[in-house]
Structure 1
Amino acid sequence: MTQLVNQYTPQKEGGLSDSPASDSTEFVDNFQRKFYYLRLSITDVCNFKCTYCLPDGYHPTGRKNSSFLDQSEIKRVVNAFADCGTTKVRLTGGEPSLRKDFTDIIASVAETKGINKVATTTNGYRMAKQVDDWKEAGLTHINVSVDSLDPKLFHQITGENKFHDVMNGIERAFEIGYQQVKVNVVLLKQLNGHSLPEFLHWIKTRPIQLRFIELMQTGEMDTLFQQQHQSGVSIRNHLIANGWLLKIKEANDGPAQVFVHPDYLGEIGLIMPYEKGFCETCNRLRVSATGKLHLCLFGDQGVELRDLLEQDQQEGALIERIQGALKTKSVSHFLQDGNTGMTPHLASIGG
């Protein structure tokens, strides 16, 4: 891709620094990748039935010891990551707002020394009523899933007639002072694959970072993947041809290639996991809602951490176990080679 010059400086919430904490103890793998970003699932329950994730709705697994991490366990795992240089925590699901203590969890993470970004990814159906509380608790960044701007197609993709509720939630976030909301769109070739003009019109006067995410093949989605996968390359080519510029990443940013344009208040992000070199800048680790460390969204069964989250005095052993696991982290997810890993669906470990 043509090297582009960044002419824009990233917006920051509340004047917080985005530089990783300076500490002699860091989470680093054998490929010298440093991990400043924790994606922490707090539930795998979801009330939507998205075509690409849980088309038949959520079904409990019935696995033994499947209760979700409680607030004290969440606090301990976040403290350990923060002490090893992590500066950003994203609370995921399932749908994280389904937890009755979601706001308390936000507050607990936000007050952790060293954490300067507290984000969530939500389907947005509760935002209009609850986002005020989330912001007051310390939530700095919000990602909302909106796979179509057509209410009927939104209903078809998500299984829920909640389009206007989600839109109202996004508008409420702006009303209470969020400088930017990120909106996730999973590219589905036969459904929203040609919706770029509508989305561009929507973000021209709104501070939304619209992120097109390529459909990823999971264990339960082989047929859907073959039918609906669409590369983001054509979108990127269109953006470059029309004057969009690539934005420089910060250390704890996610994997999106973000483009900006002087005539647009909004931004466009592209997440293309099948592109060569996608994993070279990996900076994030995942912990599931039941306390397993996942080195990759498409990795193995995970590393058990929960036995070390029972008492405050176990942080040293917890850090040691995570560091040991990082020595086994692969250089790539190998999606491009047809590997789908052990992840049954994206809700199982927080996407």
Structure 2
Amino acid sequence: MAQQFEDKFHRKFYYLRLSVTDVCNFKCTYCLPDGYKPSGNKNSSFLSLPEIKRIVTAFADCGTNKVRITGGEPSLRRDFPEIIETVANTPGIDKVATTTNGYRMANQVDTWRQAGLTNINVSVDSLDPRMFHQITGENKFHQVMSGIDKAFEVGFEQVKVNVVLMKDLNAGELPAFLHWIKNKPIQLRFIELMQTGEMDELFQKHHVSGVAIRNQLIADGWILKARGVNDGPAQVFVHADYLGEIGLIMPYEKNFCASCNRLRVSALGKLHMCLFGECGVELRDLLQEDSQEQELIARIQAQLANKSVSHFLQDGNSGSTPHLASIGG
């Protein structure tokens, strides 16, 4: 194995978030309120299967053991099952996850599981079909919920559900969400609304701090769970009376980045040190031949020397990220 990917702050990177498309068919208020708009470059195409294989192999050879396939909406790619299979068959990768809006799950999640998917996250921002429609721009609540049921049917032991809580929209639904997971093995992940380049006004209007939720959970007997080496950034809480769990993702909290263990590659083959970093580093020219792997690894390792100790969200600086779909959320 090549040298473990590590930055100058001695953070090791076990986790790759790999975007395979920036296209999404939902119009979530906090991400793509006006819907997907293609980038201006007509010659750009998303990473091919061979390119995906090369990037994942390089990461696996440097200690990465978890890959999350993201978008946009990754299931919009017709070869999504082949992408899962390619990642799952890479030596060294033992966790293959995806984040989806869930609208195709009822019909396709069995195929994804057979292809090698081990973990699944679904975005469900409201348990009220009308509010779900208002936030996502799509009247697909019942299809998404059927997809979650189907995931359990085909053998997933846990489904993670992502919720972006927003003041004056869905923030009052916390009791309903808690009731929902009482007897279901769902890890409910409350994600703080994050400020991006196109979302300043929305952020000011709807941001809810996760600290108040955490304080309420602790008061109600929820206990913090130990964090795994390739886990994402959530603080996960468990309760003796609940089958489900709760995760809090609070990027504005001090030291949020101290445990960073993940890197990102965009659907166009750019390496991003951070969701809120700058323009990214081109890798695609080194994804054309298997023989380029050592050069590819060297370029990634060189960039790790430039990874900042933290993002600067707390200072109101969201970097150059225009919206969350642009590099895979």
Q: 2:312 aligns with which of 334, 343, 350?
A: 334
User: Per the alignment, in what secondary structure is the counterpart of residue 48 of structure 1?
Assistant: coil
- CA separation in 1, counterparts of 2:35 and 2:228? 36
Q: State the distance in 1 between where 2:222 and 2:43 align.
A: 49
Alpha-carbon distance in structure 1 between the residues aligned to 2:77 and 2:197: 27
Structure 1: how far apart are the matches of 2:301 and 2:168? Answer: 43
* Distance in 2, Cα, partners of 1:64 & 1:271: 36
Q: Which residue of 2 aligns with 1:323?
A: 301
**1 CA distance for matches of 2:128 and 2:173?**
10
Tell me if 1:288 matches 2:266.
yes
- 2:228 is aligned with 1:250: yes
Match of 1:237 in 2: 215
* Residue 60 (1) aligns with residue 38 (2): yes
2:245 corresponds to: 267
Q: Which residue of 2 aligns with 1:11?
A: none
Tell me the SS of whatever aligns to 2:99: strand
Map 1:110-259; keep pairs closer than 5 Å. 110-259=88-237
Partners of 1:62 and 1:104 in 2: CA distance: 28
**AA at the equivalent of 2:132:** F
Q: Structure 2: which amino acid aligns with 1:156?
A: Q
What's the Cα RMSD here? Answer: 0.7
Task: String of CA shifts for 1:125-175, please: whole Å, max 9, x gaps.
Answer: 000000000000000000000000000000000000000000000000001
**1:24: Cα distance to partner?**
5.5
Letter in 1 for 2:270: K
Which letter does structure 2 place at the counterpart of 1:192? N
Whole-angstrom CA distance in 1 between matches of 2:116 and 2:37: 31
TM-score (normalizing by structure 1):
0.93
Q: CA deviation at 1:64?
A: 5.3
Q: Select which of 26, 32, 51 maps to 1:48.
A: 26
CA contact (8 A) 2:2 2:61 kept: no
2: CA distance, partners of 1:65 / 1:74: 19
Cα distance in 2 between the residues matched to 1:290 and 1:61:
11
**For the residues of structure 2 that align with 1:112 and 1:144, how far apart are their CA atoms?**
24
Aligned to 1:343: 321
Once residues 301 and 202 of structure 2 are traced to their aligned partners in structure 1, the CA distance between those partners, rounded to angstroms, is: 36
- Residue 189 of structure 1 deviates from its aligned partner by 0.9
Q: Which amino acid aligns with 1:267?
A: E
* Per-residue deviation, residues 250-306 of structure 1 (Å, max 9, x unmatched): 110000000000100000000000000000000000000000000000000000000
The one-letter code of the counterpart of 2:61 is D
Aligned to 1:73: 51
Partner amino acid for 1:110?
A: A
Determine which of 76, 80, 91 is the counterpart of 1:102. Answer: 80
DSSP 3-state at the match of 1:194: helix
Residue 47 of structure 1 aligns to a residue whose secondary structure is: coil
User: Percent identity over the alignment?
Assistant: 76
Structure 2 CA distance for aligned equivalents of residues 64 and 299 of structure 1: 24
Match of 1:92, as an amino acid? T
What's the CA shift string for 1:182-232, capped at 9, x where partnerless? 000001111011211000000000000000000000000000000011101
Unaligned 5+ segments in structure 1 are 1-22
Q: Give me the whole-angstrom Cα distance separating, in 2, the residues matched to 1:214 and 1:65.
A: 35
Gapped regions of structure 2 (runs ≥ 5) = none
Conserved? CA contact 2:19–2:327, under 8 Å: yes
Q: 1:65: Cα distance to partner?
A: 3.8
Report the Cα distance in structure 2 between the residues aligned to 1:263 and 1:87, rounded to whole angstroms.
33
